[in-house]
Structure 1
Amino acid sequence: MPHLATPTSATHREIRQQPDAWRELRDLLAHRGPALREFLAPLLARDDLRIVLTGAGTSAFIGDIAGEALRRTLRRRVEPLATTDLVADPLGTLAEPLPVLLVSFGRSGNSPESSAATRVAEQVAPEVHHLVITCNAEGRLAREHADAPRSFVLLLPERTNDTGFAMTSSFSTMLLAVLLAFEPGRAGTVDALADAATSLLERSGEVEALLDGEPRRVVYLGSGPLRGLAQESALKLLELTAGRVAAFHDTPLGFRHGPKSVVDDRTLVVVLGSGDPYTARYDADIVAELRQDHPGRVVHLGAQDFPVPGLDDLDDGLRAVALATFAQLLALGASVRLGCTPDNPFPDGSVNRVVRGVRIHELPLP
């Protein structure tokens, strides 16, 4: 039976480079941090500022994770808003007449909605400032904001501009970048995160072995910041298997309200273990319930049955950075076993690395 892709696969290489990429990001922020803090400080001093985290697809899930995490630590309004929602309904999503700090995530920065989101925000909100976090210096998003007076472009290490189909190191490094941008004092956690991810990489055989029962459905469950990671994990599996493995996501509490009906004897459920003692009780409850009532396989990631050393003292936003490695390895293993090409799961071009076919319409304003 085929095993994980060889190191010549870009996807394989980009998953494995993540610990080094995060350390490189830490060094980059040590250099650019003062300028970034100078940009952010006057904005964060404003009580009426609305911080909006935006991106499309996987980049949108960065906002879902970081928004949950940063609200807790900054104690202020921080909200995820996908570019696909912002562009389609700017008058609704930005209806409040408040100044906005729009934090845009983009691996390539060339998705049609990326630039469109920054433009329609300028049309609708009374005042907009832009923090662009991207992996591609030549992308449209980076170029348009490089010299803009109310913009700051944070270019990530060049290696994170993934060339594989699915976002892997670009996702985790952009997530870590935004968490450290708003909480620079937490740069000391990078080694712990890198060590945790390395431990998962060293156990890639264990991760792949979860596919031995040939599950036809995989469910990821997570609460708080890990809810966004559950969604990203499900998408990664769909992308790399070209949709041949059905993937679902939910919260441990929400799963009981109907979605649990997808579980059968060929379903793998992965519960993303929270580091919060209170939230972790709900994780443990759904694990126990599923193991008692259903024949499928249940994995409690980051807990006793699949521990990840080094994460115990980290909040769930940071835990998500490292735990993403598990989902990437599982998706890669499933892709190879099914005979897909991880770097190009859709050779017919029906789904593309950078989305195509999006027509941006002019926004009529009163």
Structure 2
Amino acid sequence: MTDTDQEVHQQPAVWREAAAMMAARSTQVEKFLGPVLEQPDLRIVLTGAGTSAFAGEILAPALSRSLRRRVEAIATTDIVSSPREIFAEDVPTLLVSFARSGDSPESVAATELAVSCLRSVHQLVITCNADGQLARTHADDPSSLVLLMPPATNDRGFAMTSSFTSMLLTAWLVLTPEHDLQLAEQLASAAEQILARADELADYATRRYERIVYLGSGPLAGLARESALKLLELTAGMVVSYYDTPLGFRHGPKAVLEERTLAVVYLSNDPYTRQYDQDIATELRAAIGPDNVLVVDAQPGDRDSVLQVAGVADVSDALLALPFVVIAQLLALSFSVALGRTPDNPFPDGEVNRVVQGVTIHPLQP
């Protein structure tokens, strides 16, 4: 078993562990976040690079709805390149940083730029590496709180898997009132269902698809983006992947469809939103055939070409992304192996690296 395979399969266990760790620190977390979240004009910015940024994209819409306040997902790469635009509004800000290693150049730079540009900023650092620069920099800062994930989540493989899902779950648990262990258990049980169907999902890799399209609405749009990235990473670009929203897909991007395309549609738990998801699934079945459309749904039912995930019909779409992304991870693993790639190191020549290299952080001039 490769490291990546192990890290995908360990997710139910590390979600339970991460939730228990946060429960043990609940008093400390509340002492730090309570006064910050009480500020009426607070702006919450979720940040990270690559997969870490997509955690923010999944969480931001759902957190805005849950907290009834402004929550934005802005990648560290955007903050570093345009800090004056990102922080143009000098309001109290909570910067939530997601980072597997915490050693990416943009990770620390984004937190420093926030301090340079804003008069009032608190920082919540969620990371998998206690020895990373981001964790060490913020460990003793009274305006920061560092939340470490279980050590096993500091993925050894190239692609972020258990690191991504554990950080996403932790952010939800500490930023919303839903911080009981039962929620983590519910999600872990759903993921275990999916992992038990790994061979079924691996069958898609035998069909030699050349393109895979992932579609999702609201928080699941961020999931679609992460799903497409996993496939692109683990196959080293040998399979073309695309992501969009169901409504956005018709406006030109639908041109990507051809006979060797697999479409994966994530259905929302929101009754209104899922109508649009179901519409595009129906349209895709007619366009490329039902065998080439995989619909992922948490609601009960018995429909063709639908992968049912039981036990999570009542959770927010942001949390639905946790078991759903395991499907994308398993598909990416299967395609990687079928194409003769090495999932732990799909870029042996170093064209793309586990921790980004070659980035120069330029000083911000007054």
TM norm structure 1: 0.96
Q: d(CA) in 2 for partners of 1:355 and 1:192?
A: 34
Q: d(CA) in 2 for partners of 1:182 and 1:148?
A: 20
Q: d(CA) in 2 for partners of 1:112 and 1:105?
A: 13
Q: Deviations over 1:315-343 (max 9, x none)?
A: 10110011110000000000000000000
Q: Which runs of 5+ in 1 are unaligned?
A: 1-6
Q: Does 1:64 align with 2:57?
A: yes
Q: Given the alignment, which residue of 233, 247, 256 partners 1:253? A: 247
Partner of 2:64, secondary structure, is: helix
Q: Does 1:189 align with 2:183?
A: yes
Q: d(CA) in 2 for partners of 1:241 and 1:228?
A: 20
Q: Output aligned runs, 1:36-75, within 5 Å.
A: 36-75=29-68
Partner of 1:210, secondary structure, is: helix
Is contact 2:217–2:268 with CA below 8 Å preserved after alignment?
yes
> Equivalent residue for 1:272?
266
> Equivalent residue for 2:292?
297
Q: d(CA) in 2 for partners of 1:259 and 1:294?
A: 15
Aligned residue type for 2:327: F
Q: d(CA) in 1 for partners of 2:186 and 2:157?
A: 26
Aligned residue type for 1:278: Y
> Equivalent residue for 2:360?
359
Is contact 2:125–2:146 with CA below 8 Å preserved after alignment?
yes
Q: Which runs of 5+ in 2 are unaligned?
A: none
Aligned residue type for 1:210: Y
> Equivalent residue for 2:334?
333
Partner of 2:207, secondary structure, is: coil
> Equivalent residue for 1:220?
214
Identity %, equivalent residues = 56
RMSD of aligned residue pairs (Cα, Å)? 1.0
Is contact 2:206–2:338 with CA below 8 Å preserved after alignment?
no
Q: d(CA) in 2 for partners of 1:286 and 1:211?
A: 23
Q: Given the alignment, which residue of 60, 81, 94 partners 2:87? A: 94
Q: Deviations over 1:107-140 (max 9, x none)?
A: 0000000000001111111211110000000000
Runs of 4+ in structure 1 displaced over 3 angstroms? Answer: none
Aligned residue type for 1:178: A
Q: Deviations over 1:266-293 (max 9, x none)?
A: 0000001111111111111001111112
Q: d(CA) in 2 for partners of 1:93 and 1:281?
A: 34
Q: d(CA) in 2 for partners of 1:330 and 1:120?
A: 38
Partner of 1:84, secondary structure, is: helix
Q: Given the alignment, which residue of 17, 23, 28 partners 1:24? A: 17
Q: d(CA) in 1 for partners of 2:321 and 2:275?
A: 18
Residue range with higher mean Cα deviation, 31-40 or 302-311: 302-311
Q: d(CA) in 2 for partners of 1:334 and 1:186?
A: 36
Q: d(CA) in 1 for partners of 2:206 and 2:250?
A: 26
Q: d(CA) in 1 for partners of 2:352 and 2:205?
A: 25
Q: Given the alignment, which residue of 173, 180, 184 partners 1:180? A: 173
Q: d(CA) in 2 for partners of 1:99 and 1:363?
A: 21
Aligned residue type for 1:301: V
Partner of 2:25, secondary structure, is: helix
Q: Deviations over 1:213-272 (max 9, x none)?
A: 211000000000000000000000000000000000000000000000011110000001
> Equivalent residue for 1:321?
322
Residue range with higher mean Cα deviation, 239-248 or 176-185: 176-185
Partner of 1:30, secondary structure, is: helix
Is contact 2:127–2:167 with CA below 8 Å preserved after alignment?
yes
> Equivalent residue for 1:4?
none
